[in-house]
């Protein structure tokens, strides 16, 4: 998808150059940074669609509403191609969507979703445990191995499944307490698709801090323990502490499934919004 979106600016760029000539006061929109997604259509197809024979037409849109709908908004040939492409892409993404509804976490966690941020909450024996994560920028880049694909193997088949591995923050609040123990947890930074036997923990604790429960802002003046040079025995006790509260390797694996499903859902919604915005009728 990244390759394809990289190609889109060329088509749009040509159209925009023409628009600049027509309406120089119109500012250029900054291109969005896309999430990595396998291409539903090969990179070359878009170039074929906006081939050199038709290029003059793209460069010279016939006016703000080239499609003739009369709405007065900008509808270039490039926009039409973009909308058509997005329609196909949305169809393909829905086809490969693994979960139509978000997968459930085991262990009795309640899920709250607010846009790209998700909160898992659990109450147990006088404690409230909250796990918060954001699916933005949560997909690591695919592993770019040095080996060439084996003979006969298509490039698409080699692309690893994209998974979302967000950092997540665990807050533990004991009933009646004014402070929360906050643990910032990460998944290993190994790139997805690596063949070599990975020996990292499924997740790790990076930072630990106490934060006041009554304030929403993070207090920088509270001591933050960094685990990079932490005594291993203390680290293991912290991991066991989390495991006793349901944040263990099973939880971490399930959270990846949940985050991946949420990220994919948000991505499809974004594509639909983008299609509607570009179409704008």
Residues that bind other proteins (CB under 8 A): 197-202, 232-233, 236-237, 239-240, 243, 248-250, 253
Least Cβ distance, residue 277 to other proteins (angstroms): 42
Two tokens, residue 185: 């947890």
Least Cβ distance, residue 48 to other proteins (angstroms): 43
Two tokens, residue 159: 């692309």
Query: Between 200 and 226, whose beta carbon lies closer to other proteins?
Result: 200
Torsion of CA 214, 217, 218, 220, to 10 degrees: -110
Measure the CA angle with vertex 127, ends 124 and 130; round to 5°.
Answer: 90
143 phi, psi to nearest 5 deg: -65, 125
Query: Between 3 and 249, whose beta carbon lies closer to other proteins?
Result: 249
Query: Between 23 and 230, whose beta carbon lies closer to other proteins?
Result: 230
Least Cβ distance, residue 237 to other proteins (angstroms): 5
Residues whose CB falls within 8 Å of the CB of residue 8, separated by 6 or more in sequence, listed in order: 46, 82, 85
Least Cβ distance, residue 250 to other proteins (angstroms): 4
Distance CA 190, CA 127 (A): 33
Query: Between 112 and 198, whose beta carbon lies closer to other proteins?
Result: 198
Distance CA 35, CA 136 (A): 9
- For the chain, how far is it from start to end, CA to CA, in angstroms? 26
Query: Between 161 and 198, whose beta carbon lies closer to other proteins?
Result: 198
Least Cβ distance, residue 58 to other proteins (angstroms): 52
């Amino acid at each position: 998808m990244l390759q394809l979106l990289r190609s889109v600016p060329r088509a749009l760029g040509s159209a925009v150059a023409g628009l600049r000539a027509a309406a120089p006061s119109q500012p250029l929109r900054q291109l969005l940074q896309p999430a990595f997604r396998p291409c539903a259509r090969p990179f070359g197809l878009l170039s074929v669609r906006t081939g050199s024979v038709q290029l003059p037409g793209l460069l010279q849109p016939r006016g703000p509403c080239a499609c003739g709908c009369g709405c007065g908004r900008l509808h270039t040939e490039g926009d039409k191609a973009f909308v058509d492409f997005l329609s196909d892409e949305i169809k393909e993404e829905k086809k490969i969507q693994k979960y139509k509804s978000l997968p459930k976490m085991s262990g009795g966690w309640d899920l709250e979703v607010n846009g790209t941020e998700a909160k898992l909450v659990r109450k147990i024996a006088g404690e409230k445990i909250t796990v918060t994560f954001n699916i933005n920028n949560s997909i690591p880049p695919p592993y770019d191995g040095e080996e060439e694909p084996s003979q006969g193997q298509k490039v698409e088949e080699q692309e690893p499944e994209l998974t979302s591995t967000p950092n997540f923050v665990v807050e533990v609040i004991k009933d009646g307490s004014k402070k929360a123990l906050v643990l910032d947890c990460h998944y290993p930074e190994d790139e997805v698709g690596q063949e070599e036997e990975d020996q990292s923990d499924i997740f790790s604790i990076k930072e630990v801090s106490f934060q006041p429960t009554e304030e929403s802002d993070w207090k920088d003046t509270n001591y933050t323990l960094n685990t990079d040079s932490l005594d291993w025995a203390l680290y293991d006790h912290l991991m066991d502490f989390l495991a006793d509260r349901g944040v263990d390797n099973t939880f971490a694996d399930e959270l990846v499934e949940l985050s991946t499903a949420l990220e994919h859902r948000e991505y499809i919604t974004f594509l639909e919004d983008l299609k509607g915005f570009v179409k704008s009728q």
